[in-house]
Amino acid sequence: MSRDICIYQEFLTDAHRAQIEKAAGAAGFVPHFFTLDQFEAARACVQRCEVLYAHSPELLRAAPATLKWYCCSFAGVDPYCKDPSMFANPDCILTNSNGYGVTIAEHVVMVTLMLLRRMPEYEAVVREHSWSNQLPIRSIRDNEFTILGTGNIGLNVAERLRGMGAAKITGLSRSGRPQAEFDEVLSIRELDNVLPRTKILVMALPGTAETIHILNRERIALLPDDAYVINVGRGTAIDQAPLIEALNSGRLAGAALDVMDPEPLPKDHPLWTTKNLILTPHVSGNMTLGYTCDINVEMFCADLANYAAGKPLAGFVDRARGY
Amino acid sequence: MSRDICIYQEFLTDAHRAQIEKAAGAAGFVPHFFTLDQFEAARACVQRCEVLYAHSPELLRAAPATLKWYCCSFAGVDPYCKDPSMFANPDCILTNSNGYGVTIAEHVVMVTLMLLRRMPEYEAVVREHSWSNQLPIRSIRDNEFTILGTGNIGLNVAERLRGMGAAKITGLSRSGRPQAEFDEVLSIRELDNVLPRTKILVMALPGTAETIHILNRERIALLPDDAYVINVGRGTAIDQAPLIEALNSGRLAGAALDVMDPEPLPKDHPLWTTKNLILTPHVSGNMTLGYTCDINVEMFCADLANYAAGKPLAGFVDRARGY
């Protein structure tokens, strides 16, 4: 009897399919490919598959208890961790992709510079075919950064900020374990002590019970008046009402949110019209960058070899812990 | 008789003034400070000064033949080189400031990422309180950069692009002399050979007779269809009509111009409405970044010590050559 893989993805190129065929063959598996418009066919196929490579809660729910490994092509797996009933097999392995570091880090550098260099204001000047150029700006060199989350995203952000001469880069993680890319890594328990000296707060946290509203009203008040907040993790990590107040009153210098709560943001949501806020519709880490897709497939193929050999999987997610 | 310096600048802080007082005292000079609203007083003062630290063609024209050194606080000194009649003393030394590298390089990284990540299109989505996020984007990692000009600006740009993993960075300069920040430096005579493999062309050239319309219709045609053009040097370096055509027809992917010809751009100029173009009103290298001001003053003070000691000046400009 063959060992089968159901692959339900939109982003795969012919080269990616060939790469997966090859890795599957080497591991003793047969891959079956479906695009997002072939849900019914994918559902029929997954009934006899041991492995599912997708990002589809609906397809996962349709999979029987014989599914042993769900490889999620996204980084954020909070929906799967919050609801164990999605898995017919309680021991089903969950992996995620941590290949979004490059694209999200480039987004963070972009919005950091847009905020520091007053780009939204200059864009407004240009939209009026007008000319003025004397707004005070700031440099990455002169600012202390605090990065919440020191995973693949945080590391890639830190690397780039260091390359641009950031004054200081502090990482905050659960363990506080030192990592070379940061000037220092502290325990997330130090957050309240670090915020008063933070000029740019970059939030790259997974969506877990512990990260909900981690940036609350009290902590927003701890940030200096000239601080900026950038969120590329999960919208739920920020209590949005006090952030909106702080931005509209000028109590914070600005913010850039790529993630919000909820998404898509309703048409009449106050975030759309908040001052000094750069909003993007969750674009920092999706599959629109070729490199992200390439590394996603590479990681799946590498973990398929690990899986076949009974080795630990690089993308393993502790479903109880949430990341 | 005292040796006097006329200083006509808007950006100086009290700390800058103290720093200049100290350097002047050590070099045997007396500094006289004027802000831009004190032109008449500055003109009266410059009549007896040996040194002028300013960016004012008008004040320079008012200075007598006893002026021996004009330290221009800007990088672009083309107006002074084109018109020798500005100097009553034909042997007056001209220096410029090459301290704009950091701020201009940060601008270049910002607009590079905005172009690659389709930010103007996403900003239009957000302005309509709408939500869509599937535009294909590109990474700095995947692109070959060509930087025209390997001075302080080009070096700072190259350093930052390298830190973000640019696929290849080629510098073009008059000499073609190798510099560590670039993967290769070629003679500007190689321009036509380099353009067909250039994905992002960064122009940071001084305004000289040789650089006028260096990017002309024929050279725009040599760029690949998916190329971007970024100009932070002088607007005259680009023949704007064929660039506008190429952008509006989709023959080029996009451009970001911080300099134009003329400036300010007239209200009805076609650049305002050109497609896939990020316009900024000459903000990349002005005195709005504190670091730029600090280094400007530092360089003046260091060259003042050189001047007093009869040593070569670091900011020396060959007036005939134009940079």
pLDDT tens track for B124-174: 999 999 999 999 999 999 999 999 999 999 999 999 999 999 999 999 999
Test mutation, A116, A137, A169, chain B, max B CBs within 10 A = A137
User: B119 contacts in A (CB within 8 Å)?
Assistant: 110, 280
Mutate to test the interface with A, among B10, B125, B130, B139 (most CBs of A within 10 A): B139
* Model pLDDT, residue A173: 96
pLDDT (0 to 100) of residue A274: 98
What rounded mean pLDDT belongs to chain A?
Answer: 96
SS3 B271: helix
What is the distance between the alpha carbons of residues B252 and B11, in angstroms, rounded to a whole number? Answer: 39
pLDDT tens-digit series, residues B218-236: 999 999 999 999 999 999 9
Query: Given B162, B213, B269, B282, which residue is catalytic?
Result: B282
Please, which pLDDT band fits residue A321 given cuts at 50, 70 and 90?
confident
- Per CATH, the architecture of A3-99+288-308 is what? 3-Layer(aba) Sandwich (3.40)
pLDDT in tens, B13-41: 999 999 999 999 999 999 999 999 999 99
Q: Determine the pLDDT at residue B45.
A: 98
Over residues A35-71, the pLDDT tens digits come to 999 999 999 999 999 999 999 999 999 999 999 999 9
**Which of the following is catalytic: A16, A107, A118, A234?**
A234
Percent of chain A beyond pLDDT 70?
A: 100
pLDDT of residue A323: 83
Choices 1.20.1250.20, 3.40.50.720, 3.40.30.10, 3.40.720.10: CATH for A101-279: 3.40.50.720
> How are strands ordered across the β-sheet holding B29-34?
B29-34, B3-8, B51-54, B69-72, B93-95
SS3 B314: coil
Q: What is the pLDDT of residue A263?
A: 96
Which class for B89: exposed (0-12), middle (13-18), buried (19 or more C-beta within 10 A)?
Answer: middle
Over residues B34-93, the pLDDT tens digits come to 999 999 999 999 999 999 999 999 999 999 999 999 999 998 899 999 999 999 999 999
Residues of B in contact with A265 (CB under 8 A): 129, 131
Beta strands in chain B (DSSP E): 3-8, 29-34, 51-54, 69-72, 93-95, 144-148, 168-173, 184-187, 200-203, 228-231, 254-257, 277-279
| Model confidence at B267: pLDDT above 90 | yes
Q: Do A117 and B283 touch (CB under 8 A)?
A: yes
- Confidence (pLDDT) at A253: 98
* pLDDT tens-digit readout, B3-12: 999 999 999 9
Instruction: Tell me, yes or no, if B234 is annotated catalytic.
Output: yes
pLDDT score for A1: 63
List CB contacts (< 8 A) between B164 and chain A. Answer: 106, 109, 160, 163
Euclidean distance between CA atoms A257 and B96, whole angstroms: 40
Confidence (pLDDT) at A212: 96
Q: What is the pTM of this model?
A: 0.94
Q: What pLDDT score does A121 carry?
A: 97
Q: Are the beta carbons of B188 and B241 closer than 8 angstroms?
A: no
What is the torsion angle, in degrees rounded to the nearest 10, for the CA atoms of residue A192, residue A197, residue A200 and residue A203? Answer: -20
Query: Is B197 one of the annotated active-site residues of the chain?
Result: no
What is the mean predicted confidence (pLDDT) over A83-98? 94
B117 interaction partners in chain A (CB closer than 8 Å): 106-107, 110, 283
Q: CATH 3.40.50.720 spans which residues of chain B?
A: 3-99+288-308, 101-279
